[in-house]
Amino acid sequence: MPTVFEVEKQYPEPEYPERPLPMSQHEVSPTALRRASNHRRANPCCLCWCCCCSCSWNEDRERAWRASRETKLEAIPNCEVCTKPTTEEVKGWSQSFDKLMKNPAGRNVFREFLRTEYSEENMLFWLACEELKSECNTRAIEEKARMIYEDYISILSPKEVSLDSRVREGINRKMQEPSSHTFDDAQLQIYTLMHRDSYPRFLNSAIYRALLQSVSRSSSES
């Protein structure tokens, strides 16, 4: 019996010419934009600093996204709930990657940046490993380990993280009897990758610079 890949190769999907959308479907009038903006600002601000709330802090972050043409401008699903960071905390993120990763607000902002580079799966994998290590129930550990493997380790996953063969082989052995530390080596490798590769670019990004200016301005006005 032919495999899925062989069938797809033998019977490729037909190509259809793309039709341009009518102007009314992809253009939004200034009046509609103002109406949507007013509706959003009418919502009460939540007490937490998270990517889902409509407070002025997050509006500053959205403006930072728009200032940087490299972003997708999409709300981050399942972001961590956290308080608004202080000026000292935001400045501290540039001094140490550890400080950034130990701060929930810092992880949210860094995760936003990783999305612009299409590497958000690195942070998602790291967070999933942290959650796994905090689990005590044996059954829950096995289930979460299986989900992490399917989501981030399997070569069939669209969110597969980049790991060397030695680490992958170790995970495959440990998955026979999963524990809360099954992915420790992989987590460290991804942490190192984010530190050496993504972190320097994050510090020079429009997202981080705009947020630093925002908290500095808020601090001087208070």
Distance CA 34, CA 57 (A): 19
User: In Å, what is the CA distance from 9 to each residue of 2, 16, 108?
Assistant: 11, 18, 41
In this prediction, residue 77 carries a pLDDT of 54
In this prediction, residue 86 carries a pLDDT of 92
Opening angle at CA 154, ends 149 and 159, nearest 5 = 90
Taking residue 94's Cβ as centre, other Cβ atoms within 10 Å add up to 15
Burial 35-49 (b: 16+ CB within 10 A, else e): eeeeeeeeeeeeeeb
Give the pTM. Answer: 0.66
Contact 56, 194 (CB under 8 A): no
Structure confidence by residue, pLDDT tens digits, 17-58: 454 444 444 444 555 545 544 444 433 333 344 444 444 445
Return the higher-pLDDT residue of 165 and 218: 165
Per-residue pLDDT band for 155 (boundaries 50, 70, 90) equals very high
In this prediction, residue 80 carries a pLDDT of 73
Per-residue pLDDT band for 219 (boundaries 50, 70, 90) equals confident
Return the higher-pLDDT residue of 88 and 3: 88
Cα 124 to chain centroid, rounded: 6
Distance CA 195, CA 109 (A): 15
DSSP 178-222: --TTTTHHHHHHHHHHIIIIIHHHHHTSHHHHHHHHHHHHHHHH-
Taking residue 188's Cβ as centre, other Cβ atoms within 10 Å add up to 13
Q: Is 49 helix (H, G, I), strand (E, B) or coil?
A: strand
Q: How many CA atoms lie within 13 A of 101 on its CB side?
A: 18
Return the higher-pLDDT residue of 74 and 175: 175
